[in-house]
Amino acid sequence: MSVLAAIAVLAVLILVHEFGHFIAARSQGIHVNRFSLGFGPVLWKYQGPETEYAIRAFPLGGFVGFPDDDPDTEIPPNDPNLLRNRPILDRAIVISAGVIANLIFAYMLLVAQVSLIGIGQASQPGVLIQQLAPEVSDVASKAGLQAGDVILAANQQQFGKSLQGIDTLRDIIKSNPNQSVQLEIARGDKKLSVNVIPEDKPNGGSIGVGLAPNGKVERRTISNPIQALSVGATEFQRIVTMTFKGFGQLITNFGETASQVAGPVKIVEMGANIAKNDTGSLLFFGALISINLAIINILPLPALDGGQLAFLLIEGLRGKPLPNRIQEGVMQTGLVLLLGLGIFLIVKETTQLTTQLEWVQKLFQ
C-alpha cells in the first residue's frame, strides 16, 4: 500500500501539471483535443465535445494534446484559436502554466501540512552535536567541541526549536571556510563560547561533526489561518532555495553529485518509505517533488517547458519563429536524451532495489 500511495502522489502532481496547461489553454479559448494522464495503452477514455480525456497504463507522466499538428483534425489551419496561431504571450502562458500550477499546489500542500498535521520541531532549543568525525576532519576536536554539546548560536544567530536551525548552521559553516565562526555552546549546565575555523572543502566549509535536533522531534499544528499561510510560505521559500542550491551543486560538482540523481523508481521508493514510516510527511513529500518537478520543467532544455519558452523567446527576438525542421530536430533530440536518461535511471534503480531485496531475503534464510 505504501508503494501505491507514493505512485498516487506522483500521479496527482503530474495531473496538476497537465491540468495547468489545459486550463490555461481552455480559459483563452485555445483548442485542446487530448488530455491524458500517463503514457502507453489506454485504460479508460471519455470523448468530450472537443477533448478526449484518457488514463493510460503508466501513470508516471502525461500530456495535453493540441490539434495544430493533427492530420485528422477538421479545424482549418488558419483558425485563430489554434495554439500556433496565437500571440507569443498567449502561448507562453499555456506553456508556463504547468510549472505555475505545480508551485501553487506545493504551497497549498505545505499550508495543509502545517495546519492539519503540523511541522516538526525539537523539544529543546539549539542544535545537538551528535558525534565528531575525526577521521574526516579534526577541526571540531581542536576547537574543543565534544559529542553531546548543544550549539545555541553561531555568529550571534540564535537557534530555537525549529528544525531549520540545522540547515542554517550548516549554511553558516559552509559559507565561512578558513574563517572564524563563533559558537555559543551549552555543555550540561555550563555555557561556553568557542571559535572554530571550518576547513575548506569542495562543497564549502566543514568542521567534521554530525548534527541532530536537540531532544525529541514533535509535531506542532498551527490553527491560526494567517500564521499557517505565513509558515507555509516560509517552508515553500526554504524548499525552493534548497532545490536551486542542489541544482547548483549538480552543475559545479557534477562528478560528485551525479550519482545522487534520482529517477522514478528511487522517488517511488522514497515515497513508499515515507508512507510506511511517517504518513504525516506525505504532504511535505508531495510539495518537495512538486517544486522539483516545476523547477526541472522550467529549465531551458529541449522537450521541457523551458525549452519551448526558449523557442518563444528566440521568436520574439527574431520577429519570426525558427524553421520547423530546426525546432523538431532539437525537440526530438532532447526527447530521446530525456527518455534515455529515464530508462537508464529506471534500470539502474530497479537493479539496485532487486539486489537489496535479494540481500534481505538471504538474511532470513
| C-alpha cell of residue 269 | 521508493
List, in order, residues 6 or more apart from 278 with CB less than 8 Å away: none
Active site residue 52: no
Element (H, E) at 253: none
How far does CA 241 lie from the centroid of its chain? 10
Q: Are β-strands 127-132 and 119-122 bridged in parallel, bridged antiparallel, or unpaired?
A: unpaired
With beta carbons less than 8 A apart as the criterion, state whether 315 and 304 touch: no
- Amino acid, single-letter form, for residue 268: V
Q: What is the dihedral of CA 183, 187, 191, 197, to 10 degrees?
A: -20
**213 CB-contact burial (10 Å; exposed 0-12 / middle 13-18 / buried 19+):** buried
Catalytic pick from 18, 235, 269, 349? 18
C-alpha to C-alpha distance for 18 and 280, rounded to whole angstroms: 26
- Report which DSSP code applies to 28: T
Angle between helices 2-27 and 282-298 (to 10 degrees): 50
Question: What Rg value do the Cα atoms of the chain yield, rounded?
Answer: 25
CA–CA gap between residue 337 and residue 346 (Å, rounded): 14
What is the residue-wise DSSP string for 121-184? EESSSSEEEEEE-TTT--HHHHHT--TT-EEEEETTEE--SBTHHHHHHHHHHHT-TTS-EEEE
Residue 339: all three cell numbers together: 527518455
Q: Which residues are catalytic?
A: 18
